[in-house]
Amino acid sequence: MLFPSCKTTLAQVATRTVCTIVLCAVGTEFTSGETKETSRPSTTATPEAWPPPRHHSWARFPVGAWQRVRIVSQVLDETETVVNTSVAHVTKTLTEITARGVRLKIERMVELEGKSFSAPPQIVYQGFADEVEGEQVFAMKDLKPATLTLDGREFLCHVREIDLRAADHQRTVKIFYSNTRAPYVLRQETISQGTAAEQVEMYESVLETIALDMPYPVLMKIKSTILMKKHHRHPRGSDTAWVVLDPEIPGGVVAQSAKKVNAQGQTVGRNLLQLTDHGLSSADRSHEVDDVSDATVRKWRRLRGRRRATSISATQSPP
């Protein structure tokens, strides 16, 4: 979600951060529940498994792959003055890949008012059909294929609508999927609503790809990335996030800028997310946390070690 907390509610499910929705390839082949197909696009837009794990931002990597991000969050008052700032260092590790999704271990350390707090590790489930723990795929149906235009290029998309149900809410997710271009899920529309009488509020969100092949510094290298935007609307206001994706990074998200606006149009919260390190196994993982990226720290220390070794060798050489 854009502004995470520890307790899961309908609002949190509806406002799941783009870090979660973008990271999760949505939709797969299920046989349970009612399925109705109204049309099928051409074979160029429909792969054998929809979508396959190789197009999922976590499942395409081996178990043990991980990423670490730094999130700066601010709370603003009615005059849009910052009244509270916190910094979170979050590490996500891929622990399991199943036929229907992945499980991630999330470790979080928060810095607030000069103090540090570590939360107990959590195991989070991400289904390929965008479902979270407690949700089930109730129905799927294929819609008419659609063509999306990005950077002047047209991409034929297979469009699928998925009905997700849980004990206290339901969500309808419409996925625009292309198997020819990352991020593969080029657009996603979601409507969420509580099933209890006291939870009739409606939540709507749209995730869309804005630009491809955008240069962006990922750690110490300029890379071609994908720019996406998510807008979430709810009765208390709206959340907007701009997200930078790199498909070569476990989890995909390397940067995010988000703001939260209340019903009166005032900004009441904002955060910045930045990738600080990543790897394919625990052997790659540094346990240090710093204001600069852990990868940068390791590279600096390697260079310092080489210079020190060169200096010692020079002083010990015979005249």
User: What pLDDT tens digit does each residue of the chain (319 aa) get?
Assistant: 444 443 444 444 444 433 333 333 333 332 233 333 433 333 333 333 457 788 999 999 999 999 999 999 999 999 999 999 999 999 999 999 998 899 999 999 999 888 899 999 999 999 887 888 889 889 999 999 999 999 999 999 999 999 999 988 899 999 999 999 999 999 999 999 887 665 667 899 999 999 999 999 999 899 999 999 999 999 999 999 999 999 999 999 999 999 999 999 999 999 999 999 999 988 777 655 444 445 544 554 455 455 445 544 544 555 4
**Domain range summary for the chain, segments of one domain joined by +:** 10-285
Note the pTM of the prediction, 2 decimals: 0.75
Are the CB atoms for 135 and 164 separated by under 8 Å?
yes
106, 76, 82: which is closest to 93 by C-alpha?
106
Distance CA 36, CA 195 (A): 23
- Contact between 208 and 233 under an 8 Å Cβ cutoff? The reply is no
d(CA 211, CA 209): 6
| Separation between Cα atoms, residue 184 and residue 52, nearest integer Å | 10
Q: State how far the Cα of 172 lies from the Cα of 17, in Å rounded to an integer.
A: 17
The Cα diameter of the chain in Å comes to 89
Residues 6+ apart with CB under 8 A from 286: 277, 294, 297, 298
238 contacts 232 by C-beta, under 8 angstroms: yes
